[in-house]
Chain A
């Protein structure tokens, strides 16, 4: 344990986010009870297709979320080891590796049960508690790794579990009319994805043996849309100085928007978040007590490091005000969702994952965010095994320095494999960037 962790907390986290912890725990308890309750279980990664499943009373397990949960609880080790034992190499997406490790443990337990050995995971063994799937749906935007992960999961279970693939093409945006959520490519791709989602619903009907409850989906999407609007409203208020909430608060708020049951609880959650943010703005309270720097965070989260990084930046008096991961994903365009006929808008939101637009559009969006939140610098987390996020990072860094004239710094880490993370490097790189910001300010003064 390092000395920093023992000091009292400096980061002024939103109190409302505590509710997320409770909701998340309740959700996982529901997942772990699924088989006892005779529920069908669907494994999926990537796009938030959970409302489609929830409406049909299918328990949904998002692979990344499971891996992130294990890492956040520092319990990812056994699953990663199980994956490694089967030959999954360390350079593979660590989300996938961790989740596949859960599948390996699951299979092992099942085989042990067949042979009368043990077969029953202990309550502490969260990796093994993941209920096996009755179906797999793959709907991964941009990253080929997501689709292959699902395929390998299906193979791990002996190809006995029905799998459905939704192809979500990358928006290459080379045509003259191309732009963010506009142009012929956007329209055609949206229609292509929506068509497949309708077929996915047929697949779900085949699994449940019941007509699809469209009314229920409309109801859930009404909640999602409202929760998303509230979330964006609260995010917008963080243009204030000091910023009332940080990137790390938004990281904690990913589960409520992306994966928790789409009941009114998520609306209540984001209402509380929005209200607290508004209150802070009114009182001039910041997420960092002495906000001296405002930073943008590019890259996916280090799930084993969320609280720790929040604390680290707070101690540097640096408010991380926005990020690609949090501010460009997760039902990011509620305006596209028509709750009375939600499929097209859902598909379009899947198309706007923070990587699924090629660099011309992506970089414009990031530069706009940096301008909007008036950042002084950009911290780039080069996640070793998530190349979907690292792909455009040199281009982003270049644009940030050339177009905005802001400082950037990079550090290597990973989504859920802590071994790729080097603390000293983060310290020295961030410190060097903050010093450069200071020097620039002095010379400007």
Chain B
């Protein structure tokens, strides 16, 4: 397959995750275990021979879901409940989760009522990340989830199988991280939407199948390195449980930006951290849970000794990014809480950023486009003025 065909396969799976799961199930007869984002380790389900699939926001308009969740909830939760109520999750044998964003809990409760025949397994992951007992509690949580999964699937999850799954997942993450490095270096001309398709399909596809396609893709790109794309170098930040709409990403690039890095969940956040392949695998998963928040801090956790804003500034420097666009899913409370910290830090460091609130429902791209163009103009003017050194007075926030 050439790179266009591989990318098109990733895009197909990313846009039809449940159809992929159905086909996989028909082919293998295996169980499909859905999970809510963002911290359930798919390795557990994989080691039990099941297909772990991170439930995705659907592109469909919300209809029946309106009767279960209020319109002032994030698109992910509303869409999830809507899909459940429409019967779209029939392919899922069970759903597992450990996260506790208040909107997610509301959605989980509604999903359990909407599809009573589907087992919904929950054990709350500790979200306070630097307590003396955080690591132990995270391990207890993964053990409880594993136990219930074993009982549900009526088969044990052996340590060796779990270690093997960890290796499979690590290999997949490593390859995607390689693509990230190449994108930053300008040696992989992947658009933001293509990158999203790669990561999003990895949340859905059988990992070995995904990895095989990634290997091919890397080989093709490395054999014919493309010319480095030109434009204003941008970092994309935010958007947790749900993928930003590809058309927004394309619009940003069409305005003259090149996305060189991100910390989106449907992006670098998902593949940032590997799990220790040796030793007790549950210890490894618990350590991974802590390490990934130190590596790429998430506002859904509380961790006083790491700063998301500092991470972003550092990431932008490493990526030589000139500006940042914050994509905020409307009504996402964790993001709204943290945003003022980011805004102030960027203003202090003289680094420009633009905030875009996204919605599940279709958005007026024209208006957004004007804002993005204006923002990119400002970034360019700063560059022209040689204003590359951080100066507090030059910080610009556009909203």
Contact = CB atoms under 8 A, between A and B. Distances in A.
Interface of A: 86-89, 91-93, 96, 138, 142-145, 147-152, 154-155, 159, 163, 165, 167, 169-170, 172, 174, 192, 195-196, 199, 358-359, 382, 384, 387-388, 390-395
Nearest to B107: A391
B302 interface: yes
Nearest to A155: B341
Contacts of B304: 151, 154-155, 159, 163
9 contacts: A88-B340, A91-B72, A91-B331, A92-B337, A165-B302, A167-B124, A172-B123, A387-B70, A391-B110
Given A86-B340, A165-B131, A148 B333 contact: yes
B336 A89 contact: yes
Nearest to B106: A391
A155 B341 CA distance: 8
A170 B124 contact: yes
Given A167-B128, A172-B122, A174-B120, A144 B70 contact: no
A391 B105 contact: yes
B337 A149 contact: yes
A392 B109 contact: yes
A382 B72 CA distance: 10
Given A91-B330, A144-B105, A387-B73, 16 more contacts: A91-B336, A92-B337, A138-B302, A142-B105, A145-B333, A148-B299, A148-B302, A165-B131, A167-B127, A192-B137, A387-B103, A392-B110, A393-B70, A394-B68, A394-B70, A395-B68
Contacts of A170: 100, 105, 122, 124
Given A167-B128, A395-B68, A87 B338 contact: no
Given A91-B72, A167-B127, A167-B128, A143 B102 contact: yes
B137 A167 contact: yes
A359 B113 contact: yes
A74 B67 CA distance: 34
B110 A395 contact: yes
Contacts of A86: 340, 344
Contacts of A172: 122-124
Contacts of A91: 72, 330-331, 333, 336
A89 B334 CA distance: 11
A260 to B, nearest CB: 28
A170 B99 CA distance: 11
Interface in B317-342: 330-331, 333-334, 336-341
B69 interface: yes
Interface string B275-306: 00000000000000000000000011010100
A395 B132 CA distance: 38
Contact of B102 (A155, A195, A388, A393): A388
Contacts of A93: 333
B343 interface: yes
Contacts of B315: none
A387 B340 CA distance: 21
Nearest to A166: B128
Given A151-B302, A165-B131, A170-B124, A395 B113 contact: yes
Given A165-B302, A358-B109, A174 B122 contact: yes
Interface in B90-139: 100-103, 105-106, 108-110, 112-113, 119-124, 126-128, 131-133, 137
B102 A145 contact: yes
A391 B109 contact: yes
B70 A390 contact: yes
B124 A382 contact: no
Given A89-B336, A169-B124, A144 B300 contact: yes
Contacts of B108: 358
A147 B128 contact: yes
Contacts of B126: 167
Contacts of A145: 102, 333, 337
Contact of A394 (B67, B333, B337): B67
A92 B333 contact: yes
Nearest to B333: A145
B109 A387 contact: no
A173 to B, nearest CB: 10
B336 A88 contact: yes
Contact of B302 (A147, A199, A388, A390): A147
A165 to B, nearest CB: 4
Contacts of A169: 100, 124
Contacts of A96: 337
B116 to A, nearest CB: 10
Contacts of B133: 195-196, 199
Contacts of A174: 112, 119-122
Given A86-B340, A167-B127, A387 B106 contact: yes
Given A91-B331, A387-B73, A392 B106 contact: yes
Contacts of A154: 304
B42 to A, nearest CB: 20
A310 B357 CA distance: 38
Given A167-B128, A170-B100, A144 B334 contact: yes
Contacts of A195: 133
B142 to A, nearest CB: 14
A86 B338 CA distance: 11
A391 B124 CA distance: 17
Contacts of A192: 137
Contacts of A152: 337-338, 341
A88 B333 CA distance: 10
A309 to B, nearest CB: 20
